[in-house]
Amino acid sequence: LGFTALPIERPGFQAVTAFSEEVYLAVPPGHRLASRTSVKLREAADEPFIGYKESFPYQRMNESFLREAGISPTFVCRVDEPSAISKLVRAGLGVALIGGCNRSDSFPLPTLTIESPVCRRHFRIVWDERRYLSLAARRFRDFIAEYFSGKETEAGGLETHANFPHVTPPST
């Protein structure tokens, strides 16, 4: 049993989306876009970007959103901590794509809804359907689904999708 934001496309693995989060464009206070509530990602094409290190899964997802928007941004800084991205954007070094879970009232930063392309991260629970999934694992999986149901408005655009099939043990 595992939890991932990346798609798992392997034979024998079952994946169910537990929840999704919207991805926003974060801009520094006072930025030319800061007073807006939404933006087409293409409008940020000429902005300096701050992102995760190239090998990070979230960066690969963010780069796919950027490609879909038809832009090849210049990254001025790549980091490995979400809080570092927010701090660098707040300092005015560039703009960044951040997930709804990273939005916080304690560290206000202008975040704009991205009108196009659709930018969402899907978090999945995965398991090998060829292996027995214990009662404890099934209960944990179901707990995750229940926990995230109703979290939509609390964490900035979370959308719950969990609808888990019953997994039966293989015959011996």
Yes or no: say if 52 and 62 are a contact pair by the CB < 8 Å rule. yes
Cα dihedral sign, 126-128-134-135 = positive
User: Can you give the pLDDT at residue 142?
Assistant: 82
The per-residue pLDDT for range 4-63, each reduced to its tens digit, is 888 788 899 988 788 888 999 999 999 999 999 999 999 999 999 999 999 888 899 999
Pick the more confident residue, 148 or 126. 126
Question: What b/e readout covers 74-86, taking b as 16+ CB neighbours within 10 angstroms?
Answer: ebeebbeeeeebb
Distance CA 139, CA 119 (A): 31
User: Can you give the pLDDT at residue 87?
Assistant: 93
Cβ neighbour number for residue 54 with a 10 Å cutoff: 10
Mean pLDDT computed over every residue of the chain: 84
User: Can you give the pLDDT at residue 134?
Assistant: 93
Percent of the chain at pLDDT > 90 equals 53
Yes or no: say if 57 and 6 are a contact pair by the CB < 8 Å rule. yes
Indicate if the pLDDT at residue 167 is higher than 70: no
Encoding tokens for residue 41? 């990602």
Stated pTM of the model: 0.77
Q: Which amino acid is at 16?
A: V
